[in-house]
Structure 1
Amino acid sequence: MATLFTTNLSTTFSSTSNPNPNPKPSLNPKPSNLHFLKPLATSLAATSLLLSIPSLSLSSPSFNLYYGTAASAANYGGYGGNSSKQDAAEYTYEVPSDWKERLVSKIEKGTNGTDSEFFNPKKRSERVYLTYLAGFRALAPMDTVLSNLALSDVELQDLISSADTVRAMEKKDGDGQVYYEYEIDGAAAHRLISVTCARNKLYAHFVAAPNTEWQRDKDMLTRIHDSFKTVVT
């Protein structure tokens, strides 16, 4: 915007500075250009000020840290006494403060291992959830893990089959915990998956969104994905 103002200013000078090739001297010249420059300078200063102000984070949500217990279906339903989910947590991840938690039933927990789920109330298909399976001491090869996850998730199967790209990588956190990271760019939706093994369990953390929401909320969804980690005891 500043460049446009400068260009307009030089054009104005070239067209008004010498309108008469043989001007007569004037005893009382009127500083007409000064009246033009003052509001223009004010406009330029205001524009510069606006450009220097950092973007407001009105659209950036605040986050809460969720503590997941991965309790068995038989023990599902809460804790009594002085115990808390934070004390019993096996994993954590961040959730936007305006997202809503979907309560997972004992039947669902016992059949597919879903332990927690949150969704965007403005668009329920934009969500994060975690599943776990007991009896896994270590991760299988990376492609095998993704294939096994898809066997119990029809939606994931369809997404992989229609995907333009499927990216996979391995990473370690500061405690040496190994995670498999997957990014699936499907025809209609996007999904980020993080998988790890701890406590003789396999944890799979999913962040899902339609492509329109992914393009709009990519930074927020990536933050949710990156925040997942198991709790070291």
Structure 2
Amino acid sequence: MIVCARASASRRAILTVPVLLPLLDAARAHAGDSDYKKFLGYSAAPDLYLGYGQKNDNRVADPPLYSFEYPADWTEEIPTKTEKSTMGMDGRVMHPSTRKELAYVVALGGKDYRDSVLKDARSSLIVFAGGDPDLRQAVTDGKVEQATKRVNGSDLFVFDIASDKRRYLSSIGKKGDTVFALVVTAPANAFERDYAGLKHIQDTFQLL
């Protein structure tokens, strides 16, 4: 329910590699950056929605409302206008060889959300699980771990949801008139294998 209200090294080791460590750190940072791409989300209204990835749409004039980083070998998939209007689906990325590992963002906004405040984390999650029966079942019957963190000035509810079939990572936050929910998911037997990339998506999600 969306409730209305509102690590030790010796001295010798340190002295012998004063130049190499910064260089190694820089190399690792560069390699890490190349492992991911950034997704920018605009949450266009359903009647204006033309899909992400299209060159000739009117969203370029508007600033992005959220972002996250996803594995560089994944692909963006454009939600349909129906998915946008009926589910609030705003953006989606997928593993290159399977549709079963993916991340998507649902954005619900407008006057009905203008005065809402996210207070009940689990109930808020259930609101966004409506379009995904496996997520809904996982929230109801699975193991749910939750926490709150502040990212780029916005409070986010963060979840780790485990069920027999699938595991989910989710982040939910509100900015302006819109409530955003990121959902990252994979089958239980693939989640641990690809955990680093899946968790990176959740860790880099922010409202702008």
Task: State whether TM-score is above 0.5.
Answer: yes
Size of the aligned set, in residue pairs, is 173
For residues 129 and 70 of structure 2, the distance between their equivalents in structure 1, rounded to whole angstroms, comes to 24
For residues 107 and 82 of structure 1, the distance between their equivalents in structure 2, rounded to whole angstroms, comes to 19
Q: Does 1:230 align with 2:179?
A: no
Native 8 Å contact 1:162 1:187 kept in 2? no
Runs of 5+ consecutive residues of structure 2 not aligned to the other structure? 1-27
Q: Deviation at 1:63? A: 0.6
Secondary structure, aligned partner of 1:190: strand
For residues 143 and 159 of structure 1, the distance between their equivalents in structure 2, rounded to whole angstroms, comes to 12
Between the aligned residues of both structures, percent identity stands at 25
Q: Does 1:97 align with 2:72?
A: yes
Partner of 2:63: 88
Q: Does 1:187 align with 2:164?
A: yes
Secondary structure, aligned partner of 1:103: coil
1:150 is matched with which residue: 123, 129, 140? 129
Counterparts in 2 of 1:217 and 1:201: CA distance versus 1, 3 Å: same
Q: Deviation at 1:154? A: 1.6
Q: Which has the higher contact order (CA 8 A, sep 6+)?
A: 2
Runs of 5+ consecutive residues of structure 1 not aligned to the other structure? 1-55
For residues 201 and 178 of structure 1, the distance between their equivalents in structure 2, rounded to whole angstroms, comes to 13
* CA RMSD of superposed structures (Å): 2.6
Q: Deviation at 1:123? A: 2.2
Which structure has greater strand proportion?
2
Counterparts in 2 of 1:81 and 1:195: CA distance versus 1, 3 Å: closer
String of CA shifts for 1:151-177, please: whole Å, max 9, x gaps.
Answer: 3432211222441x21011111242x1
Q: Deviation at 1:80? A: 5.4
- Structure 1 length-normalised TM: 0.67
Decide which structure has the larger Cα Rg and report it: 1
2:82 is matched with which residue: 83, 102, 107? 107
Secondary structure, aligned partner of 1:125: coil
- Structure 2 length-normalised TM: 0.75
Q: Does 1:201 align with 2:174?
A: no
